[in-house]
Structure 1
Amino acid sequence: MFEILSAAEMRALEQAAIESGSVTGLELMERAGRAVVDAVFTEWPDLAKAPQKAVVLCGPGNNGGDGFVIARLLQDWGWEAAAFLYGDPALLPPDARMNYDRWCAMGPVHDLAQASVEGPKVALLVDALFGTGLRRPLQGVTLTVLDLWAEHRVAVDLPSGLCSDSGRVLGKVGATVRAALTVTFHAPKLGHVLADGPAVCGRLEVADIGLATTAVGAARLVASPDVKLLGKTVGAHKYGHGHALVLTGGAGTTGAARLAARAALRIGAGVVTLGVPPAAQLEVACQITALMLRRVRDGADLTSVLGDARINALCLGPGMGLSADKAGLLRVALQSGRALVLDADALTMIARDADLFALLHPGCVLTPHAGEFARLFPDLAQRLIGVPETGPAYSKVNATREAAKRAGCVVLFKGPDTVIAAPDGDCAIHPAAYGRQAPWLATAGAGDVLAGFIAGLLARGFDPMQAAETAAWLHVECARLFGPGLIAEDLPEMLPKVLRALPD
């Protein structure tokens, strides 16, 4: 699986490689520059056939050094390249200064202030201003680059103006270069996949520059699941694949729980039972077939139902309601020690009651969207919505890790940039971006299906982190396979096709 690095983690990997003697900083810079040029010609093959004009914007750090390499390589290819520098060349880091000097032997270096929006049209604009090193908003002369016109824009490592660790645009103005192509090195950075990152990076290309090391504790990209883990054991009976219990709301509000229950069954739980209050039993009985039904009115009923030791996972929250008797059910479920998925109304009840929050345990998975996260962790949410003026800015990864540690269980913070974290700091990101966009998930009930997927996997014996990651990936894949017109009921029905398409 891809690791997803912070700026500091990437710098540490590069420094470790340099200190080991396996590579020099100058060699890494040369590899990076060549990777950008190769990526540009791969993305836009016509540019390789007909050399044209390029403007290369170089910043005051090593990202600027990459830019001078790119200008030199384009010039060698026959292009007419113009290099602009932001800052004093005497203050460039040693390797960047070396490449500055090499370029000076080929052509002039212009002051960035001379870049004009009224200048000639160019085929390629290379943004090598700040990359992962940005610490403050674009301002003054650097803002002019936003309006420079080019047929194609490529960002080196990260579009300038975007925070590498949070994917948030720095400053109240929110200014950033928008790229059609972003070329980064060794591994994606957090800013590529979080918040505004996918919208401003265009297509993301990750180039190998020969770093073989990994960063301990880095976030991971959620990968496609192992199909073997999702199969069923030959000869095993239904209870051998787990028994999930999903609690419903009252009459007229059972639909969400029924969606979750069907999702749990589709993902392979051997048995799924709906726990239904008396007034809703007829409503539910008319709507289900393979799902089972048990009467659950209050905590005493739930205690009785949980006397069946084969029930090993519960899902609470979808359409459940917020009354005192529902809080009693939630308390019994938490005290049972069973694996739990807590969504929707269950999250709201926990946010309102510190005693319920204190009952959370490592077998729980919380699945908040942004509004629910703000109710559960208002201080963390406030830090996320504040305008970042300096980098690295507080990120969704920071918030989810802190939330998981505070809750003592796995937290799946939903969104196009879903972040999943465990109390020990393990963190995975599932961005529905860069070819895995799933805008059709913006439909009522989609979150209930996700909760059901997680519950079914917990019933099957997946650990909470593994269940959350696997469910998030499958949830998006089901939406992508169905496409336009998706409603929540379609998601579980797409799952068999998705599972059959997984590689052996």
Structure 2
Amino acid sequence: MPARPILTVAEITEADRAAIAAGTPGSVLMERAGTAVADAVCARFRPQPTVVLCGPGNNGGDGYVVARVLKARGWPVEVRALAEPATEDARDAAAQWDGPMAPLAGTLEPALFVDALFGAGLTRPLDGVAAAAVQRLAERPEKVVAVDIPSGLPGDTGRPVGPAACARLTVTFHARKPAHVLEPGKGLCGEVVVADIGLGEMGGGEPGGGGTTSRLVENGPELWLDRFPWPTAASHKHDRGRMIVVSGEAWSTGAARLAARAGLRIGAGLVTVHSPPDALAPNVAHLEAVMLRPFETDQELEQAAAQVDAAVIGPAAGVSENTLLNVLALARTGAALVLDADAITVFRDDPEELFSVLDRDDVLTPHPGEFERLFPGLLSGAPERISAARRAAEKAGAVVLLKGADTVVAAPDGRAAVNVNGSPWLATAGSGDVLAGFIGGLVAQGMESFEAACAAAWIHAEAAELHGPGLISEDLPGLAPAVLRRLYEDR
């Protein structure tokens, strides 16, 4: 299965136009869309009083189809119309509705609501009757199904510009839009079902392949599983990559060990923690399969790392001159770098110094605060996180993984992927250190850095979901094998 694209409103509009130009009438697309919504409703709810809220555009036209199909299946349905249909296809759909109908005004009594007021193309704030209606829907999201997107939510940003509905279920068409995967829009959408209404190919094996020019995709195994570095019967540890992790000082060693264990669990053949002398004792007391090696200066670290494939630095490394020099030393070795936490923050006064030594094989893994330190104003000034991460990757000349509930991975060439399987259980100290280790372990095995970052982020979230409540970061490396087994069987 190809990677699933995430398309902007303009790209979806173009896909609609192309399908119509190729001979599929808009009315047929509307019928398919409304039927898909009705199918999703019937699969999740028992028949009950249902109110379909219809706007004047084609989103409203979809709503009239939903109402007709549900009524034909025996559901008690009423339509509440915001205004007269304003498009030919919507007028045709409305003309086929022969059930109860009233203006969208006054109180909305408790019912199952289908929100077909406005679609993803809306960019202005809702007001008047429409605003009052979506505020009512937001009070009871468990009884709301959104057609395409909750009304009031712009499809390209996921950031409401005024009142917006909140849904238990959103049924969209052809592909997710940015608002379906980016917070806060993602949270307003509830479960998202993507219905195929016949707009053509969903994409190829690479972002932008097949029938779309999009270079933005959902992060999932379809994107990277066919290039995952599985061992063969002839493999040995030296074939499977050499990874190092730089430890912090004696009182800050746990983070490096988490990253190292993660790298080993994800498949790296040889993993070594490089440790300042005063941190050797706590490290040696806790390490088993992970090796340990001392270093005192950045020159010694550079020499020790000369033959490694990937290096992780930053977890509890300390925001110090030593960390800065160690990053620069590792950059001279040719190893792919995974820079996290302190290895990012230490360059806040001179980001260009870091960017000058990075290359496209390196990976930065900032949370929003660290991102702001390295790319000041970029996140707050961008329309959404995808644009910010892409711009940062271009500026740094490296892969950027912007962490969050809607983690975005961006490459310098413009490719980007958004995690749709984020887990709330990852909100615990040290989980980011494990993620850095997963990335480093995959890169060490020869996986391309963008795909390695995507795979690591997905596996990280899946492992957290396997455990659920009570998860601590120490659990994550041990949960990875169950996820890997599932991927191995699905390859």
Residue matched to 2:204: none
1:265 positional shift: 1.0
Residue matched to 2:205: none
| 3-state DSSP of counterpart to 1:417 | coil
Q: Is the 8 A contact 1:162 1:168 kept in 2?
A: yes
Shift of the 288–59 alpha-carbon distance from structure 1 to 2, 3 Å rule, reads: same
Give the TM-score normalised by the residue count of structure 2: 0.91
Unaligned runs of 5+ in 1: 385-393
| 3-state DSSP of counterpart to 2:312 | strand
The yes-or-no answer on 1:254 pairing with 2:253 is: yes
Q: Deviations over 1:84-122 (max 9, x none)?
A: 333454xx122122223333xx2575433x2x22x5443
Shift of the 278–121 alpha-carbon distance from structure 1 to 2, 3 Å rule, reads: closer
Residue matched to 2:33: 32
Separation (CA, whole Å) in 1 of partners of 2:377 and 2:102: 46
Q: CA RMSD in A?
A: 2.0
Residue matched to 2:49: 53
Q: Is the 8 A contact 1:350 1:357 kept in 2?
A: no
The yes-or-no answer on 1:425 pairing with 2:414 is: yes
Q: Is the 8 A contact 1:351 1:357 kept in 2?
A: no
Size of the aligned set, in residue pairs, is 472
Q: Is the 8 A contact 2:5 2:214 kept in 1?
A: no
Residue matched to 2:281: 282
Q: Deviations over 1:349-376 (max 9, x none)?
A: 2332221232221111010111111112
Q: Is the 8 A contact 1:217 1:425 kept in 2?
A: no
Q: Is the 8 A contact 1:34 1:70 kept in 2?
A: yes
Q: Deviations over 1:393-443 (max 9, x none)?
A: x111111111111111111111111111111111111123xxxx5221111
Letter in 2 for 1:206: V
Separation (CA, whole Å) in 2 of partners of 1:197 and 1:465: 25
Shift of the 83–429 alpha-carbon distance from structure 1 to 2, 3 Å rule, reads: same
Residue matched to 1:389: none
1:24 positional shift: 0.9
Letter in 2 for 1:99: A
Separation (CA, whole Å) in 2 of partners of 1:161 and 1:176: 4
The yes-or-no answer on 1:441 pairing with 2:420 is: no
Separation (CA, whole Å) in 2 of partners of 1:228 and 1:347: 29
1:227 positional shift: 7.9
Which 4+ stretches in 1 moved above 6 angstroms? none
1:306 positional shift: 2.8
1:72 positional shift: 2.7
Residue matched to 2:217: 220
| 3-state DSSP of counterpart to 1:352 | coil
Residue matched to 2:206: none
Residue matched to 2:207: none
Letter in 2 for 1:314: A
Residue matched to 1:142: 130
Shift of the 270–100 alpha-carbon distance from structure 1 to 2, 3 Å rule, reads: same
Q: Is the 8 A contact 1:57 1:127 kept in 2?
A: yes
Residue matched to 2:315: 318
Unaligned runs of 5+ in 2: 202-210
Identity %: 48
Shifted more, 345-354 versus 269-278: the winner is: 345-354
1:381 positional shift: 1.7
Q: Is the 8 A contact 1:256 1:448 kept in 2?
A: yes
The yes-or-no answer on 1:15 pairing with 2:6 is: no
Residue matched to 1:294: 293
Shift of the 81–235 alpha-carbon distance from structure 1 to 2, 3 Å rule, reads: closer
| 3-state DSSP of counterpart to 2:176 | coil
Letter in 2 for 1:371: G
Q: Deviations over 1:479-503 (max 9, x none)?
A: 1112222111111111222222332
Q: Is the 8 A contact 1:247 1:274 kept in 2?
A: yes
Residue matched to 2:70: 74
The yes-or-no answer on 1:369 pairing with 2:367 is: yes
Residue matched to 2:346: 349
- Pairwise mapping of residues 301-312 of structure 1 onto structure 2 (< 5 A)? 301-307=300-306, 309=307, 311-312=308-309
Q: Is the 8 A contact 1:71 1:83 kept in 2?
A: yes
| 3-state DSSP of counterpart to 1:84 | strand
The yes-or-no answer on 1:397 pairing with 2:386 is: yes
Q: Is the 8 A contact 2:242 2:271 kept in 1?
A: yes
Separation (CA, whole Å) in 2 of partners of 1:420 and 1:203: 22
Separation (CA, whole Å) in 2 of partners of 1:227 and 1:375: 36
1:296 positional shift: 2.0
Separation (CA, whole Å) in 1 of partners of 2:245 and 2:110: 61
Letter in 2 for 1:343: D
| 3-state DSSP of counterpart to 1:13 | helix
